[in-house]
C-alpha cells in the first residue's frame, strides 16, 4: 500500500511538471498587409518566444482548422528571402528579459528591464474564441493599452512576445491605438514533450546592449534615413512637412522617456 501511494504521488508530480510544458503558435499581425508566425515555448517557468521575419501565406489547411483554433484570415506573402528570427527569453516572475535584435547588420542581445504589467481582470463577461472560453484583461503598457483574452482551460501564465502573467494562456492580444498589433492563437501543444529549438549558447554569446541604448542608436539611424529620403524629394514652396514620432511597434513610450524608470 505504501509503495502504491508513493507511486501515485510520483506519477502526479511528474504529470504536473509535464503539464506545465507548453508549445503554442501565434499569428502576429502588425498590419493588414502581413502576418508572421511566432512560436512560444514555456518550459520550467522559462518562456521563449521565436518570431519569424518573413510573412507567411495562408494555406488550404488553415481554413479547415479555423474552427478549432484562432487564426487570421488576411495573411499574405510579401516577399521571400532569408528568414531571420527575433527571440525573446524571459524567466517567469523576473523582470530581466533578453531579446535578439540587429543593428546595421550585426546581431545583439538587447537587455530589457521589463516593467511589471498590472493586469486588470475585473471583467465578468466571457467570450468564446475558437474552442476556448476566454476572460478579458487589460493593462497599460509603454504608452499603449493592452487588451488580452485568456483561457483558464490551459492554466499556464504564458502569452506571445513579452506578454504573460495571467491565470491562463493568452488566446488573443492586441493594443489600442492608430496602429494596433494583433496576436492570435493558432496551435497548441499541451502538455509538450519536445525541446526548445533555440541555440541559447549562441544567443548569450552575442554582444549585449541595454534596450535604451539600442532604441536610441536605432532611431538615430532611422532619422538619418528619413533625412536622406526627404533630401531627394522635390521642394514645394510654402509647404512644411512635420513628422510626429510614432513608433511602428506595440511599445510607444519607454520608461526613460516617461519618467517612470524604476
For 197-254, give the secondary structure using H, E and C: CCCHHHHHHCCEEEHHHHHHHHHHHHHHHHHHHHHCCCCCCCCCCCCCCCCCCCCCCC
The distance between the two most distant Cα atoms of the chain, rounded to a whole number of Å, is 93
Nearest-10 Cα torsion for 178, 150, 192, 114: 60
- Helix, strand or coil, per DSSP, at residue 48: strand
Sheet of 144-151, strands arranged across: 126-129, 132-141, 144-151, 169-175, 182-189, 22-31, 34-43, 46-52, 85-91, 96-103, 106-113, 208-210
Residue with cell 495571467: 166
Whether 136 contacts 127, CB under 8 Å = yes
Whether 121 contacts 148, CB under 8 Å = no
Distance CA 82, CA 52 (A): 10
pLDDT in tens for each of the 262 residues of the chain?
444 444 343 334 334 434 579 999 999 999 888 899 999 999 999 999 999 888 876 555 544 444 344 443 333 333 334 456 899 999 887 889 999 999 888 999 999 999 999 999 999 989 999 999 999 999 999 999 999 999 999 999 999 999 999 999 999 999 998 789 999 999 999 999 998 989 989 999 999 999 999 999 998 988 887 777 767 777 666 555 455 556 778 999 999 998 766 6
Three cell numbers, residue 79: 516577399
Whether 234 contacts 241, CB under 8 Å = no
User: Mind listing the domains of the chain with CATH numbers?
Assistant: 20-203 (2.50.20)
Cβ neighbours of residue 22 closer than 8 Å, sequence gap 6 or more: 40, 41, 42, 43, 154, 156, 158, 169, 188, 189, 190, 191, 192
Amino acid at each position: 500500500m505504501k509503495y502504491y501511494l508513493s507511486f501515485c504521488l510520483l506519477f502526479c508530480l511528474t504529470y504536473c511538471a509535464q503539464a506545465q510544458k507548453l508549445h503554442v503558435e501565434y499569428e502576429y499581425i502588425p498590419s493588414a498587409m502581413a502576418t508572421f508566425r511566432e512560436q512560444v515555448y514555456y518550459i520550467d517557468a522559462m518562456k521563449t518566444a521565436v518570431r519569424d521575419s518573413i510573412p507567411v501565406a495562408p494555406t488550404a489547411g488553415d481554413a479547415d482548422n479555423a474552427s478549432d483554433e484562432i487564426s487570421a484570415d488576411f495573411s499574405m506573402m510579401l516577399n521571400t528571402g532569408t528568414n531571420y528570427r527575433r527571440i525573446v527569453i524571459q524567466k517567469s516572475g523576473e523582470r530581466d528579459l533578453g531579446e535578439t535584435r540587429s543593428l546595421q547588420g550585426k546581431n545583439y542581445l538587447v537587455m530589457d528591464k521589463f516593467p511589471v504589467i498590472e493586469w486588470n481582470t475585473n471583467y465578468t463577461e466571457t467570450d468564446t474564441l475558437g474552442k476556448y472560453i476566454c476572460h478579458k484583461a487589460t493593462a497599460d503598457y509603454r504608452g499603449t493599452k493592452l487588451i488580452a483574452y485568456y483561457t483558464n482551460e490551459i492554466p499556464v501564465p504564458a502569452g506571445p512576445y513579452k506578454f504573460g502573467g495571467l491565470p491562463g494562456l493568452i488566446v488573443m492580444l492586441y493594443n489600442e491605438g492608430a496602429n494596433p498589433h494583433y496576436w492570435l492563437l493558432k496551435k497548441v501543444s499541451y502538455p509538450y514533450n519536445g525541446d526548445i529549438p533555440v541555440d541559447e549558447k549562441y544567443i548569450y554569446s552575442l554582444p549585449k546592449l541595454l534596450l535604451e541604448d539600442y532604441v536610441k542608436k536605432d532611431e538615430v539611424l532611422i532619422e538619418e534615413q528619413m533625412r536622406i529620403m526627404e533630401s531627394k524629394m522635390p521642394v514645394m514652396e510654402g509647404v512644411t512637412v512635420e513628422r510626429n514620432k510614432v513608433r511602428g511597434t506595440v511599445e510607444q513610450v519607454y520608461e526613460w522617456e516617461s519618467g517612470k524608470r524604476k
